[in-house]
Amino acid sequence: MKDERYKRITVRMLFNHSSGLPGSTFYFGYKPDTRMHKLLLDKLKDAYLKHDPGAMSLYCNDGFTLAEMIVEKVSGEKYVDFLNHKIFTPLGMKDTSASIGEINEPNSAEFYDAQTGKKYPRLAISVYGAGGMSSTAEDLCRFGGSLSPKGKRILSDASIKEILAEQPTLFSGKLRGPQIMGQFGWEYSDIADYHKKGIQVLGKGGHSTGYTTNLQIVPQEGIAIGFSISGDANGEAITRPILDALMKDRKLMEDRVSAVQKPVAPQRVPAALTRYAGYYVDDNGAAKIAFNKQKDGFTITRLTAKGPGKEKPAVSKSFIYNSGYFYGDQEGISYYFTTVDGKSFLISRGQPKPFDIDMISYQKLEIIKNPGRLQENMEGRIWLIRDMPPYMQGSVMPVLSSLYKELPGYVDLMGVEKIENANYAGIAATAFRDQAGISLFTRNGETWIEWRGFLLSTADGIPGVKVKGRTTIRIKEDDYNQWLKVENGALLRFEKPAGGRLIVSTLDKVLYDSIIDSGEIYAPAGSYIFCAGEAGDVFTIYMQ
């Protein structure tokens, strides 16, 4: 990597999410793609870490992918083959393998969009360590049971002890309550109610568009609870009530009493806390935190930027103070400010429900004294993805880059980045999971961007469709995606090659995706048409 700190990353850091690697350098697809390992290594060559190795735990799929690659290197086997003879076969996990889009097992749950009823193709996820496996709830429980003294064991006592132990980072213990991701592969290894009784509960969830899975285990009791569902769900909200009921039946826990929440009475904010006013960022952009005139709370207001699709009014939320915490409109969730290692954070407590876990919600940004500028004007610019495979899961839309007048030296392109020089903007602040910088380069006289493993080009100058009739577009020898802009609203129909993909969208909504749609579609003026395929593929658009 360009970032020399990568040499301090250990295998352990890949499992407790503390490596500092950017996030998720892969994509899910509708057919297997064997290039994922090479893609990750190629992109890491030009990447920077988001924090020092071992500093803190922030969810990182790339760590699991690298761990998968290490298993293959050390064992000399393909990862799935290694799992089959070391784990699945010994544990009798006969219904666990690669993703359903790869193995084509007929007896598998399909995904239908709950809003439209449309059926999606099966996902083929080619990063197995980062979620690309399929299983059953029964097999999940077999795996969970193998980590209990009461189950069938495939690991040594020493290995299991390590897997069940806390994996602290330099950040661990510096918040008021327990934190997520500080464990060896688990998302949590304690639940407050159970911890008080001396009972350890570990949990791990899995989620992709179309499927949700969760596993909770209580090793000392030999309990494993697993489920998989076709669709989007809160995994813990399903497994936790089952766990509570089972533990109550065994007389190991009592009923959780849901006390009636009294309205929080506002109190005066201590003067020492008002220093936390300023500009913050989270996964969704930048915001301003200001304490109110009554001195009993604060308001957080999203910053707005100029450009297409940015005309919406600023959104604000108010919070009131009481006994060391701030409360908003989410029941059971409270917030507090803290400074850790010189950085200021707004921390949420009580997420994800129903767990009492502290998580970083926002990090305060520094005001840059001598702000830098990128070589390209990024204010209100529209960017188009150019190297998406036609079989990649998910639809694409144009993305916007923004500048905030309140934050010179920063740019927002699907996340806030700090401008380091004319060609690069790096990660500005920590977030729960995937982050990345942006690199600018020139191709054929145009400015392009590398972002999260993908290439983007500006929408300036793309061909327009404005005359009724027939328009064709061809994929060139470089295989890059082609785009058109709909100049006047019209009814469209299409012809495309068998392996091609065609998507119609506005700046904020997908109108048509050939993966699931057919027939005609009305595209308003200003819509975009995206085409992906192999070199030589021809797409035909009929406009009326």
- For residue 471, the Cα-to-chain-centroid distance in whole angstroms is 37
Range 423-433 average pLDDT? 85
The residue among 53 and 352 whose pLDDT is bigger is: 53
Residue 435 has pLDDT above 90, yes or no: no
Question: What phi and psi values does residue 103 have, to the nearest 5 degrees?
Answer: -90, -20
Q: What is the pLDDT of residues 137-169, one digit of tens each?
A: 999 999 999 999 999 999 999 999 999 998 889
Six-digit token pair at 325?
């915490």
Residue 311 has pLDDT above 60, yes or no: no
Q: What is the reported pLDDT for 409?
A: 96
Q: What is the mean pLDDT of the chain?
A: 91
**What's the pLDDT band for 306 if we cut at 50, 70, 90?**
low
What are the angstrom distances between the C-alpha of 191 and each of 216, 253, 368, 400? 11, 13, 40, 40
Can you spell out the DSSP letters for 299-323? EEEE----STT--SPPPEEEEEEET
Does residue 449 contact residue 439 with C-beta atoms inside 8 Å?
Answer: yes
Integer Cα distance of 248 and 255 in angstroms? 7
Give the closest residue to 210 by CA, choosing from 128, 129, 141, 124.
124
Does residue 210 contact residue 227 with C-beta atoms inside 8 Å?
Answer: no
Which DSSP symbol is given to 85?
A: I
**What's the pLDDT band for 347 if we cut at 50, 70, 90?**
very high
Burial of 462 per CB tally in 10 Å (0-12, 13-18, 19+): middle
Does residue 386 contact residue 528 with C-beta atoms inside 8 Å?
Answer: no
Give the closest residue to 483 by CA, choosing from 509, 457, 508.
457
Does residue 32 contact residue 124 with C-beta atoms inside 8 Å?
Answer: yes
Give the closest residue to 336 by CA, choosing from 199, 476, 176.
176
Q: What is the reported pLDDT for 316?
A: 92
For 451-455, the CB contacts below 8 A with 24+ separation are 451/413, 451/414, 452/22, 452/23, 452/24, 452/25, 452/414, 453/25, 453/26, 453/27, 453/39, 453/43, 454/385, 454/386, 454/387, 454/388, 455/385, 455/386, 455/387, 455/480
**What's the pLDDT band for 314 if we cut at 50, 70, 90?**
confident
Give the closest residue to 239 by CA, choosing from 266, 265, 203.
203
Residue 355 has pLDDT above 80, yes or no: no
Integer Cα distance of 121 and 452 in angstroms? 25
The fraction of the chain above a pLDDT of 70, given in percent, is 96
Six-digit token pair at 220?
């000392």
Residue 352 has pLDDT above 80, yes or no: no
Integer Cα distance of 24 and 18 in angstroms? 14
Range 111-130 average pLDDT? 91
| Those residues with Cβ within 8 angstroms of residue 366's Cβ, 6 or more apart along the chain or in another chain | none
What are the angstrom distances between the C-alpha of 307 and each of 380, 412, 442, 451, 510? 4, 12, 23, 20, 19
Residue 89 has pLDDT above 60, yes or no: yes
Question: Pairing relation of β-strands 278-282 and 399-402?
Answer: unpaired
- In this predicted structure, which of 237-241, 353-357, 390-394 has the lowest mean pLDDT? 353-357
Q: What is the reported pLDDT for 17?
A: 92
Six-digit token pair at 536?
């030589």
For 461, other C-beta atoms within 10 Å of its C-beta total: 9
Q: What is the reported pLDDT for 257?
A: 64
Range 102-127 average pLDDT? 91
Range 377-402 average pLDDT? 93
Residue 513 has pLDDT above 70, yes or no: yes
Does residue 347 contact residue 338 with C-beta atoms inside 8 Å?
Answer: yes
Q: What is the reported pLDDT for 465?
A: 85
Q: What is the reported pLDDT for 310?
A: 52
CATH number of 4-249: 3.40.710.10
Map 163-220 to HEC letters: HHCECCCCCCCCCCCCECCCECCCCECCCHHHHCCCCCCEEEEEEECCEEEEEEEEHH
Six-digit token pair at 437?
């910088």
Q: pTM of the prediction?
A: 0.91
Does residue 364 contact residue 191 with C-beta atoms inside 8 Å?
Answer: no
Give the closest residue to 436 by CA, choosing from 26, 7, 10.
26
Q: What is the pLDDT of residues 174-221, one digit of tens each?
A: 999 888 888 888 988 888 888 889 999 999 998 887 899 999 999 999
The fraction of the chain above a pLDDT of 90, given in percent, is 72
Residue 524 has pLDDT above 90, yes or no: yes
Q: Tokens 């007048």: give the residue.
A: 405
Six-digit token pair at 135?
């299983």
Q: Which fold has domain 464-543?
A: Jelly Rolls (2.60.120)
For 9, other C-beta atoms within 10 Å of its C-beta total: 19
Integer Cα distance of 411 and 420 in angstroms? 11
Give the closest residue to 423 by CA, choosing from 461, 391, 370, 375.
375
- Strands of the sheet with 528-532, listed across from one edge: 464-465, 482-486, 528-532, 501-505, 510-513
Question: Pairing relation of β-strands 482-486 and 464-465?
Answer: parallel
Residue 432 has pLDDT above 90, yes or no: no
What are the angstrom distances between the C-alpha of 493 and each of 140, 183, 395, 517, 544? 45, 52, 18, 11, 9
**What's the pLDDT band for 511 if we cut at 50, 70, 90?**
very high
